[in-house]
Amino acid sequence: MKAIVIGCGKFGVRISEQLTRKNHEVVVVDKDAENFHALSEKFTGRTICGVVYDKDVLDNAGIATADAVICCTSSDSLNAVVSNIAKNVFHVPTVVASVYDPIRARMFESMGIYTVSITKLGLDNVMEYLEGNKSWSVIRSFGNDVRLVKVRIPVALVGTEFSNLTVEGKMTPVAVERQGRSMLPEKGMCCEFNDVLYLSVAADYLTRARDILQL
């Protein structure tokens, strides 16, 4: 998973280090480079110093291809701005924001943004949420040539026929989970919101597959 953490305070440090410990690709963005000194030597991600809502800064962080953005600055307003950009401009599949104000929390949730309080329990909740909502993960390899990929269907693909996601010799939908049921894709069946799709993908086609799936 490619995750961008906005804010390198105590919570930002904890979530960033937890994600890198689990081998996720992490970029931390903060306006103050001094805050990066709080990251331990075990942190293996990237750091970017800049205005956290600046388009160039977010582009440099890789927001266009991010699986998740976690906004955890000390400002609810700033978290709201960046969350809105991530969700509605770049269409990041999973957006999480820390909040202090319960009224703002309800506003965030109405936008489809998961919110969390700044507590140890909050850290556990965020990790559980992120790992349960990964938009893309390779779950099995068959030799060096084929991968079984698990994909959470993005909103942009709702209504697309599964047959249109087939690329001869490169990518084939093999199963779908929908509302607690598992099934094989049938002719004419379309993607629905919150579907989880399993595909066999050629190893040399993974990057192109993500582009086709708009992830």
Whether residue 119 is found in the same domain as residue 201: no
Whether residue 6 is found in the same domain as residue 103: yes
Over the chain (215 residues), the average pLDDT of each successive run of 10 is 93 92 93 96 94 95 92 91 90 84 74 64 64 68 86 87 94 92 92 90 88 82
User: Considering 82, 108, 132, which residue would you say is the last residue of a domain?
Assistant: 132
Domain count, the chain: 2
pTM for this entry: 0.60
Kindly state the DSSP code that residue 148 receives in the 8-state scheme: E
Q: Tell me how far apart the alpha carbons of residues 54 and 76 are, in angstroms, rounded to a whole number.
A: 17
Query: Tokens in use for 121?
Result: 């329990």
Kindly state the DSSP code that residue 190 receives in the 8-state scheme: B
Q: Tell me how far apart the alpha carbons of residues 66 and 204 are, in angstroms, rounded to a whole number.
A: 21
Whether residue 75 is found in the same domain as residue 125: yes
Whether residue 9 is found in the same domain as residue 92: yes
Whether residue 19 is found in the same domain as residue 80: yes
Whether residue 117 is found in the same domain as residue 201: no
Whether residue 56 is found in the same domain as residue 157: no
Instruction: Give residue 166's domain range.
Output: 136-212
- In this prediction, residue 100 carries a pLDDT of 78
